[in-house]
Structure 1
Amino acid sequence: MSNKSSNTKKSKNTWKNIFKFLSPFYKNFIFLMLLMSSMAFIEAKFPLMTRRLIDDYIETKDLSNINMYILGYSVLIFLSTIVTKLFFMVSGRLEVETSYLFRHKGFEKLQKLSFSYYDKTALGWIMSRITSDVNRISETISWGLLDLFWGAFMMIIITFNMFRINVKLSLLTLSVVPLLVISSLYFQRKMIKTSRNVRKINSQITAAYSEGINGAITSKTLVLEEYNLNAFKILTRNMKNKSINSAMLSAIYLPIVLTLSSLGMAFALYYGGYSVSKNIISIGTIVLFINYSVLFFEPVREIARVFAELQVATASAERILELINEPLEIKDTKNIIDIYGDNFNPKKENWEKIKGDIEFENVSFYYNKEESILENFNLKIKSGQKIALVGETGSGKSTIVNLACRFYEPTKGKVLIDDVDYKKRSQLWLHSNIGYVLQTPHLFSGTIRENIRYGNLNASEDEMINAAKLANAYNFIQKLEKKWDTEVGEGGNLLSTGEKQLISFARAIIANPKIFILDEATSSIDAETEEIIQNAIQKILKGRTSFIVAHRLSTIKNADRILVLKKGKVIEDGTHTELMDYKGHYYNLYTNQFIEEKRSIVLSS
């Protein structure tokens, strides 16, 4: 298949799929089309009224029935005003509602997508689709496509009236239309290609903005300002060049349309003037054709403008659909959803109570096929056990945790929760029973109260206070001027790292999870705060199955089992005492770290 037919087919399928999403607004579209056809009919009536005024009143100088003419003309103006007002009201509302629909669909899909999607997708890519692409497509749907319909209907009515009045004059006036069609088809292919390139680079620029802002501190500490600026200049220069190409195509296309339409009007004027001089047609008729020439080619020019915008909108529509139709790598089967519900409509009455037994049964996993992380991995954990995971970077610690939480799924083998393959339960059932505390805690804009309650939106005030006390966060909160109503700022930047960490603990606790994950939860805080958190951990993890991924080995001495990992294999398994007595890999790691910590204390004193 040629590139031309392939692109045309792709564009048609894109708009076909877009309109599937717009089925709730079909009544609005039908109403707007009726308004536009009415508007076109009324506008096409005015030149006929002008012809009648010239031939029946001005030429004959008989004004006996002029009042009826004035009344008819006034009615047309009144109807035109009403139709125009209704069009702007309904079309404006349609723009807002379609924009809301696509943003809602896009954000809903973002809630469903698994970790792997965010691993490989830049934030700027996502933001560009949810913002500028949605704006472009909603504007095109609510205004551009309707202008297209109005233009087409207007041209049909005018063509019918022209041929009804004078066929030869009509053929001369419309003789340029085939050239308009050919040029439009040619420029369509060119403009949609450049539009896709512009939108793609726009995403890259948005991503660069996002990275530049989020990594501002790192850039300054590494003195990367000039490097970042040069990299950004390359992107923006590329954007400028592609945008200029796109603008030039539009700049060439629109004058061609104007020139051809002017030729059509010139033909009508030339032949019409000749016909009037020979008394073949009346003065009113030539005025009618001149007015119709203007009216006919006005929608042609409007269609050309919309046509150019449509190419850009097509690129935006493709990108929106790409997000909305992104396949889910982790999803529940229909049977599971029927029983347990989904993330947005859970059927909690059917959820089994979780105990916390976890088993990895011949599990294999890779992020990419060339690099396997786990091979036939087996591990059995009893409910309530505290499991510490130790090993060098890339040994599989985080992978085991993410698989246990079903943030990823095994490529082979099974993960069992309470002796049942967790694929036979809903994702939300498992995730609702997991408390996860990260190395770098993320808080949402809002108050401390709101952030703690994100762990359980139905929690009472007493439950929130108890969770804060259990996490040892209560004391520092009481010292704040606004206490629970203290704003945490974007990402929690108004609080210290330790304070954010304590709140994230409270947020995890308030959900009362049976499985708890601590992923390097104390590695980025000071010794005093770490001691507070360690005391909290002892209380929090009691009776819960827990995984502790820790860099500081002194923080895991009380774990029920310490698993030492190397290249996805458990090379040592036991308590702190047992592994120290064994004097293997763990013993070496612990003693070396202990010596380093003591050396640091001596040097800093």
Structure 2
Amino acid sequence: MENNLATNIKEDSPKAASGTWKHVFAYLKVLKPQAIKLVICSTALAIGDAILPLFNRYAMDNFISKGSIDGLAPFAIIYMLLIVFFAVFVFGFIKYAGTIETTITHDIRRDAFEKLQKLSFSYYDVTPVGWIMSRLTSDTTRLGQILSWGLVDMLWGGMMMFFVAIVMITVNLKLAIIILTTIPILLFISYFFQNKILNSYRKVRKHNSQITGAFNEGITGTVTTKTLVTEETNLNEFKILTEKMNNSSVRAAVISALYYPIISIIGSIAVAIIVTLGGEEVLNSQITFGTLVLFIGYATQFFEPVRIMSQRIADFQNAQASAERVISLIQSESDIIDTKEVIEKYGDIGNSKKENFEKILGNIELKNVGFKYKTGETILENFNLNVNAGEQIAIVGPTGAGKSTIVNLICRFYEPTSGEILIDGLDYRERSQEWLYSNLGYVLQTPHLFSGTIKENIRYGKLDATDEEIIAAAKLVNAHNFITTFSDGYETTVGEGGNGLSTGQKQLISFARAILSDPSILILDEATASIDIETEKLIQDAIETMLSNRTSFIIAHRLSTIVNADRILVLKNGAIIEEGNHLDLLKLKGHYYELYTNQFNS
């Protein structure tokens, strides 16, 4: 498990991708009004933080040192107004930062999920589910936080240091220079630690993705784990992953732990120098005691944003790894892309111009089609097939013969690496993916239902279907009878993955879903393999009704289900070795005859 995950997850570039943050910051554009208000609040708070110590200095020199309370009342009123000023802008600060955080997280997840809907099957062939889940959860949350609170803290810190520096220079240039000379040192230290922190967190995020993938495999494969008694093996593999995560996290924490104390030490040294030199000036009556207290406060206050900004720099380095991974997902290019001309006429996935969709008659031709997966495995070479509209084509053959590959190519879930596929005489790449998908009905061997009701799951086949159309589709595949036995009927909740229903019931619902949109092309991929004999008999007539007057492809191991097919293709190693109807192939007494008789006798 560990090795598979490590192979599928790509290593991040060791260099910081300068363009990554450009794409991330683009999400702030739609939040420009909130961002401007947040900048105003941050600036106001920075000015307030710079002014407040001046009030303390005034109180020290005019009330405490002189032992007088003359003018204390108006001073107190102004001081209270300053506190109210702080409260108002702190409220705005938190409100707008929180709005930006949640909105950006939402927008990034929306774009990532939209991209996942458009990516071809080949992307999922090589990308672990755990990797994707980690991108959509922890990584997007991290980016939302860094683009709101992280940037705000950086902005507030920078503004505060700027205004404090102006006040210090105005009050006492000598003491101000002592504090300001630490800035180059701090910048050098930050630059030194920058790449080390970034590289450490990249490794942490990588191992976190592997652990998420391991969690996913462990949970979904629980039954297999129990039956094969591989709990100990899985635990050992998971232990290796968690140990790697732990070691990388500790290293990242150690580097960060070195960074922050160094910043604090430099700040403490500056304060010590201020106390020493400033104390001498107080004794020599060169400055007031209030001014010394002011600079001690400023020295402490000046380095507080430096500490915070250093923390945010580390957070940015951590988030850099997350940003690279999320943006890489959003910018992933599908292997199947419609041309600009096609998109202009037919629209794109999720934004189709259905009024321009031509009706599919169902004539399909594969001309010299070649195909190989990204792993390099060649499945088809110079494959040719001509199917007439309304023809029922059954495909049989051993595992790996290319049965599912052929129908997936016809459905354009993959595209041929050579040759072309024509639908009604035109290369299907001259029309949009959505045009083809909207005319497909596909039933898999293992039916998948979504959480929700039976009615909702059938309606996925045609989102604007009426209740009457849903019931008619269910009746067509003989699903209506068992549905009405439930107390809630079509409103019955199917549970996660349809686990509230039997396999046969789930398959009948998937049949109803496939036929609801009245597709021009119907694919049955081992659709009866998981159904018991009684249920198979129940839906056999429904299948015949489904297949009439539409081009259909049936992949089957149970040869009894395809005896009425117009043509049966026997495949081996990506080539057709026998072709004909059931009776013709039996007369040949070749490969199909052996398959059928062996299955019948067993």
Structure 2 counterpart of 1:561: 567
Quick one: distance in 1 between partners of 2:250 and 2:58? 49
SS at match of 1:360: strand
Is 1:167 the counterpart of 2:167? The answer is: no
Structure 2 counterpart of 1:323: 329
Is 1:468 the counterpart of 2:461? The answer is: no
Q: How does 1:404-483 map to 2 (within 5 A)?
A: 404-483=410-489
Deviations 1:206-244 (A, max 9, x none): 100000010000110101111111111111111111111
Deviations 1:370-425 (A, max 9, x none): 43211111111011000000111111111110000000001111111111111111
**Residue of structure 2 aligned with 1:373, choices 363, 371, 379:** 379
Quick one: distance in 2 between partners of 1:468 and 1:112? 29
Structure 1 counterpart of 2:349: 343
Structure 2 counterpart of 1:213: 219
Q: How does 1:59-70 map to 2 (within 5 A)?
A: 59-60=65-66, 63-70=69-76
Deviations 1:42-92 (A, max 9, x none): 110011112222334444556443333223222211111100011111111
Structure 2 counterpart of 1:3: none
Quick one: distance in 2 between partners of 1:175 and 1:345? 58
Which one-letter code corresponds to 1:442 in the other structure?
H
Deviations 1:518-569 (A, max 9, x none): 0001112211111112121111111110000001111111000001111111
Residues 1:132 and 1:280: Cα distance change in structure 2 (over 3 Å): same
Q: How far did residue 12 of structure 1 move?
A: 3.2
Q: How does 1:140-155 map to 2 (within 5 A)?
A: 140-155=146-161
SS at match of 2:229: coil
Structure 2 counterpart of 1:104: 110
Does the 8 Å CA contact 2:571/2:578 hold for their aligned counterparts?
yes
Quick one: distance in 2 between partners of 1:370 and 1:460? 46
**Residue of structure 1 aligned with 2:295, choices 289, 292, 302:** 289
Is 1:521 the counterpart of 2:527? The answer is: yes
Structure 1 counterpart of 2:119: 113
Quick one: distance in 2 between partners of 1:219 and 1:81? 57
Structure 1 counterpart of 2:557: 551
Deviations 1:101-140 (A, max 9, x none): 0110110001001111111111100000000111111111
Structure 1 counterpart of 2:9: none
Structure 2 counterpart of 1:129: 135
Does the 8 Å CA contact 1:175/1:264 hold for their aligned counterparts?
no
**Residue of structure 2 aligned with 1:184, choices 159, 182, 190:** 190
SS at match of 2:352: coil
Quick one: distance in 1 between partners of 2:344 and 2:270? 64
Deviations 1:341-397 (A, max 9, x none): 112111111111111111111111110374321111111101100000011111111
Structure 2 counterpart of 1:599: none
Q: How far did residue 145 of structure 1 move?
A: 1.3
Q: How does 1:267-278 map to 2 (within 5 A)?
A: 267-278=273-284
Q: How does 1:251-266 map to 2 (within 5 A)?
A: 251-266=257-272
SS at match of 1:10: coil
Q: How far did residue 288 of structure 1 move?
A: 1.0
Quick one: distance in 2 between partners of 1:49 and 1:368? 69
Quick one: distance in 2 between partners of 1:370 and 1:298? 56
Which one-letter code corresponds to 1:528 in the other structure?
E
Deviations 1:282-317 (A, max 9, x none): 112111101111110110111122122221111111
Structure 1 counterpart of 2:317: 311
Q: How far did residue 11 of structure 1 move?
A: 4.4
- Bigger Cα displacement from structure 2, 28-37 vs 194-203: 28-37
Residues 1:516 and 1:476: Cα distance change in structure 2 (over 3 Å): same
Quick one: distance in 1 between partners of 2:244 and 2:77? 59
Q: How far did residue 328 of structure 1 move?
A: 1.2
SS at match of 1:543: coil
Does the 8 Å CA contact 2:28/2:35 hold for their aligned counterparts?
no
SS at match of 1:513: coil
Quick one: distance in 1 between partners of 2:58 and 2:150? 34
- Bigger Cα displacement from structure 2, 581-590 vs 439-448: 581-590
Does the 8 Å CA contact 1:390/1:564 hold for their aligned counterparts?
yes
Q: What RMSD in Å do the two structures reach over aligned CA positions?
A: 1.5
Does the 8 Å CA contact 1:173/1:267 hold for their aligned counterparts?
no
Structure 2 counterpart of 1:397: 403
Does the 8 Å CA contact 1:174/1:264 hold for their aligned counterparts?
no
Question: TM-score scaled by structure 2?
Answer: 0.96
Quick one: distance in 2 between partners of 1:383 and 1:447? 35
SS at match of 1:368: coil
Is 1:354 the counterpart of 2:369? The answer is: no
Is 1:87 the counterpart of 2:93? The answer is: yes
**Residue of structure 2 aligned with 1:37, choices 13, 34, 43:** 43
Quick one: distance in 2 between partners of 1:8 and 1:58? 58
- Bigger Cα displacement from structure 2, 580-589 vs 551-560: 580-589
Structure 1 counterpart of 2:508: 502
- Bigger Cα displacement from structure 2, 378-387 vs 60-69: 60-69
Structure 2 counterpart of 1:72: 78
Which one-letter code corresponds to 2:535 in the other structure?
T
Does the 8 Å CA contact 1:176/1:263 hold for their aligned counterparts?
no
Q: How far did residue 595 of structure 1 move?
A: 1.6
Residues 1:423 and 1:152: Cα distance change in structure 2 (over 3 Å): same
Structure 2 counterpart of 1:194: 200
Structure 2 counterpart of 1:298: 304
Quick one: distance in 2 between partners of 1:186 and 1:441? 55
Q: How far did residue 14 of structure 1 move?
A: 1.8
Structure 2 counterpart of 1:233: 239
Structure 2 counterpart of 1:484: 490
Structure 1 counterpart of 2:5: none
Quick one: distance in 2 between partners of 1:476 and 1:64? 91
Quick one: distance in 2 between partners of 1:51 and 1:557? 98
Which one-letter code corresponds to 2:227 in the other structure?
T
Deviations 1:179-230 (A, max 9, x none): 2222211111111101000001101001000000100001101011111111
Which one-letter code corresponds to 2:403 in the other structure?
K
Structure 2 counterpart of 1:603: none
Does the 8 Å CA contact 2:35/2:96 hold for their aligned counterparts?
no
Which one-letter code corresponds to 2:273 in the other structure?
F
Which one-letter code corresponds to 1:198 in the other structure?
V
Structure 1 counterpart of 2:545: 539
Quick one: distance in 2 between partners of 1:322 and 1:11? 11
| Unaligned segments of structure 1, at least 5 residues | 1-5, 597-605
Quick one: distance in 2 between partners of 1:11 and 1:298? 30
Quick one: distance in 2 between partners of 1:88 and 1:21? 19
Does the 8 Å CA contact 1:445/1:487 hold for their aligned counterparts?
yes
**Residue of structure 1 aligned with 2:18, choices 8, 12, 16:** 12
Does the 8 Å CA contact 1:438/1:519 hold for their aligned counterparts?
yes
Quick one: distance in 1 between partners of 2:15 and 2:157? 24
SS at match of 1:51: helix
Q: Identical aligned pairs, as a percentage?
A: 52
| Unaligned segments of structure 2, at least 5 residues | 1-11
Q: How far did residue 7 of structure 1 move?
A: 7.5
Quick one: distance in 2 between partners of 1:252 and 1:450? 56
